[in-house]
Amino acid sequence: MIENLKEHLQQLEESHTGLEVRRSKEKLDAILADDFFEIGSSGYIYDKKECLETGVVLTEMKLHNYEIYPLAHDIVLATYFLVDTTRERNTLRSSIWKLIDGHWQLYFHQGTITPLQLTSFTSSSSTVNLNVSK
């Protein structure tokens, strides 16, 4: 059950970071919960209305090391490493997904720019190698 949920949420997360959804107000509206908010990698806070009215960043991004942590039967924390090839930067991401009216929607999202590289993660573990030189 958890693996199916993880796969489902990862697909939603990948669509949320993908250009097709980011270019469509209707698709973005369907994924974001009405009370969605985000702390962007810029440090600014955005809500659903701002995301729909002003749009979101359109960049090529690839998720890695996607993990979920159920917080309740209808709330899940997701974490992952994101490589943004357009802006040539990496971010650590976290999302909270809520099951609302039978559909998983993005309730909260945060991105933090990191100097870590994809090679900082091992393929057998989702744990970051913290012995990365500065």
Q: Which CATH fold would you assign to the domain 2-117? A: Nuclear Transport Factor 2; Chain: A, (3.10.450)
How large is the average pLDDT for residues 80-98? Answer: 92
pLDDT score, position 110? 96
**Side-chain half-sphere of 67: how many Cα atoms within 13 Å?**
14
Contact between residue 123 and residue 116 where contact means Cβ atoms under 8 Å apart: no
The pLDDT confidence band at residue 122, using thresholds 50, 70 and 90, is low
List the domain boundaries for the chain: 2-117
Which helix or strand (DSSP H or E) is residue 4 part of?
helix 2-17
The two three-digit tokens of residue 86, written as one number: 């357009």
Tell me the percentage of the chain whose pLDDT exceeds 70. Answer: 86
pLDDT score, position 58? 65
* pLDDT 10s digits, 53-86: 877 766 788 889 999 999 999 999 999 999 988 8
pLDDT score, position 1? 58
Contact between residue 32 and residue 105 where contact means Cβ atoms under 8 Å apart: yes
* pLDDT 10s digits, 6-52: 999 999 998 877 777 777 889 989 999 999 999 988 889 999 998 88
